[in-house]
Amino acid sequence: MPNWLLPEYIQDMLPDEAWRIECMRAGVLELLRLSGYQLVAPPLLEYADSLLVNGSHDMDLRTFKLVDQLSGRTLALRADITPQVARIDAHLLNRQGITRLCYTGSVLHTQPAGLMRTREPLQVGAELYGHSGLESDLEVQRLMLQALASLGVSGVHLDFGHVALFRALVRHAGIAQELETELFSALQGKDMPALRPLVAGLAPEIRNALLALPQLYGGVEVIARARAVLPGYPEVAAALDELEQAAAHLQPLAHSIGIDLAELRGYHYHSGMVFAAYHAGSHDAIALGGRYDDVGKSFGRARPATGFSMDLRQLHGLLAVQTQPKGVLAPHRDDVALQKKIAQLRAQGHAVVVDLLGNPALHTELNCDRALVLRDGAWQVVEIKL
């Protein structure tokens, strides 16, 4: 096998893509900075025990493990940055009030999340710790939609779910761990044939509620339907109120809003409202997030938390191809006036490419649409056709 072949679902970013993604990254980080989100950069690898502390079995399987030669312990390559940022909030910053953090970096997966996905997504995201009210959910949801808009992603559909609904039903019915896991799978897959036998032995109120959940998806009218068919537990009423308010607030920023009450994505660590952005160009969600109030607990400090993340490589695939701005070709000459002109152009932000070979046949490779030429005794920029 030729040694220049890359592993499956692993890709290089070549010039135009790399440049565009670098601009996208800078743009999202600047947007987050302007709202007070401070950048942190946790490492690519940690002890497996730390990285997988809140993880699902699925996340465990998708995480690369290796042995640390210095300690003999098992290391893991991060498959998600959120738990690392929670560790930083819980243990390192240790603030009492609100902490807003953002991050960007690659994560690695043993298996791709989908046929069109890479095993090396480039995550960017934001997390808000220390506030449990709806205001912080709205802040991160708004930021996520603003970030997508700033990247030029339009026609975004925003879908809401609420993990507290299923959790409330499980708690009130005293459902055991094992059955909870099976119910979770069936609901997540909207798999009615699997769901029916699982709920058969439960009290009618709970049974009907669990059977209703997979049907409770659609527009915001779903919230009213849910009020009618779900039990009136205070947690249920509160969750539905939150969904109603969030949908009303975010409506002006999204192309359309949906509600999906069987959506339990991230159930292993989410605790409240969850949300995901969709786009016609992608089968998978293009950005997602939610509330996960207990994540810091395993690091010694439970803090309310909500946040979002997205994969810039996935988003880049949705955007129209855009090539890097072209530069100015300069001859290679030891001429003071020329060097001064080159420095001037660079100070103005123009890329100036020195033509070391001086072979016109190779000019097209140098990515220039202008050239510096000596005319009437002065170096001037002229347009060139290559």
Quick one: residue 293, left, alpha or beta (phi over 0 = left, psi -120 to 50 = alpha)? alpha
The least distance separating a copy of itself from the CB of residue 351, rounded to whole angstroms, comes to 5
Q: Is the Cβ of residue 21 or residue 237 nearer to a copy of itself in the bound state?
A: 21
Of residues 336 and 356, the one with the C-beta less far from a copy of itself: 356
Q: Closest Cα partner for 159 from 348, 290, 1?
A: 290
| 209-237 burial code (b ≥16 CB/10 A, e <16) | bbbbbbebbeebebbeebeeebbebebbe
Residue 49 or 335 with smaller CB distance to a copy of itself: 49
Q: Shortest Cβ distance from residue 204 to a copy of itself (Å)? A: 41
Rounded to whole angstroms, how far apart are CA atoms 117 and 312? 11
CB of 41 to a copy of itself, least distance (A): 4
CB of 207 to a copy of itself, least distance (A): 39
- Minimum gap (Å) between residue 108 Cβ and a copy of itself: 6
Closest CB 327 distance from a copy of itself, rounded Å: 5
Angle at alpha carbon of residue 283, lines to 221 and 118, rounded to 5° = 140
Closer residue to a copy of itself (CB): 195 or 352:
352
Nearest to a copy of itself of 283, 332 (CB atom): 332
Residue positions counted in the chain: 386
Would you list the DSSP string of 148-182? HHHTT--S-EEEEEEHHHHHHHHHHHT--HHHHHH
Report the distance separating Cα 192 and Cα 211, nearest Å: 8
Structural contact between residues 285 and 278, judged by C-beta atoms closer than 8 angstroms:
yes
* Least gap, CB of 136 to a copy of itself (angstroms): 6
Q: How would you classify the pairing of strands 157-162 and 217-218?
A: unpaired
CB 288 within 8 A of CB 279: no
Question: Amino acid identity, residue 118?
Answer: T
- Minimum Å gap between C-beta 167 and a copy of itself is 24
**Residue 92 vs 280, nearer CB to a copy of itself:** 92
Spatial separation of the C-alpha atoms in residues 94 and 108, rounded to whole Å: 28
278 or 299: CB nearest a copy of itself = 299
Nearer Cβ to a copy of itself, position 120 or 260? 120
Helix axes 204-212, 192-199, angle to 10 degrees: 170
Q: Which residue has the tokens 């009437």?
A: 376
Residue with tokens 């290089």: 12
Q: Hey, what amino acid is at 373?
A: V
